[in-house]
Amino acid sequence: MKTQIINTKKGTIEFSRVGTGIPILFIHGGHSSCNEVLFHKGFDTNRFCLITPSRPGYGNTPLSQNVSPKQTAALFVAMLDELKLKSVIVIGISAGGLSAIELASNFPARVTKLILISAVTKKWMTAKDKTYIKAKKIFAPKIEKFSWALFRFFYLLFPNLMAKTMLKELSNSQSIDLAKAEVAELFEMIKLQRSKNGFVNDLDQDIDQNVINGIACPTLILHSSNDNAVNLEHAEYAHSKIKNSILEIYDNKWGHLLWLGQESYTPIKDTLKFIE
């Protein structure tokens, strides 16, 4: 997978690119970067060109002036200009959902289809929420590196225990029977996780409520009824606001991580069917 840093008229941005064919722009979630590969699962790189930029504050993309989803969307369009891409399919994941919505709404000619996976579609948390308060401390820019290093250290020592700990954060499912392959797949994702300046910025992001009404392209919304990180009401809200949208709800074990484990087969199949 090729990783690059380019300068655009809207700022510096890091991105990865793999495959050839129909271009798909992945807008990653929290604690991630252009190195995220979990959501590439199921995509044939002989048919699709998978482009994943690091959102501002993550990886090597500076937060600078691109702190809002609207500014992030404009940065992505500037990147597409540099790559000579007229239009792309956009996949917005988790906390990347707001930027995906701004992109599809404000630049309709650049987005042929929109897919929202476990996506934040409106104000996510308030300053009074316990999760917000905890996240602001654990993932503060000066501390997050050590928080992730400590989590990875304990994951190596107690993989099943730490996987179950993360499962409780991500899912309301009562199933705690984890396959070795799932525990290993989760760790491959965790090994790449960093919050940098991006996640504390995500916690405060919001968009104008009228923006989502402006999306005209075909839209697929995928969410879990067991999502413990981003409530199902975000998916239902998006479905009610986007006229040309399809909502698919899954009863999966991993909740927020629809692409993890054997149960990921169904949402992947639904996504590929929608794209084709």
- For the stretch 229-267, pLDDT in tens is 999 999 999 999 999 999 999 999 999 999 999 999 999
On the CB side of 89, CA atoms within 13 Å amount to 20
Residue of 16, 94, 118, 171 with catalytic role: 94
Q: Which helix (H) or strand (E) holds 48?
A: strand 48-53
* Structure confidence by residue, pLDDT tens digits, 108-125: 999 999 999 999 999 999
Q: What are phi and psi of 157, to 5 degrees?
A: -80, -45
* Structure confidence by residue, pLDDT tens digits, 9-35: 999 999 999 999 999 999 999 999 999
Q: Are 56 and 63 in contact (CB under 8 A)?
A: yes
Domain locations in the chain as residue ranges: 2-124+205-275, 130-190
CA–CA distance, 192 with 24 (Å, rounded to integer): 21
CA–CA distance, 131 with 203 (Å, rounded to integer): 10
Stated pTM of the model: 0.97
* Residue 224 is a catalytic residue: no
% pLDDT > 90, the chain: 96
What is 2-124+205-275's CATH topology?
Rossmann fold (3.40.50)
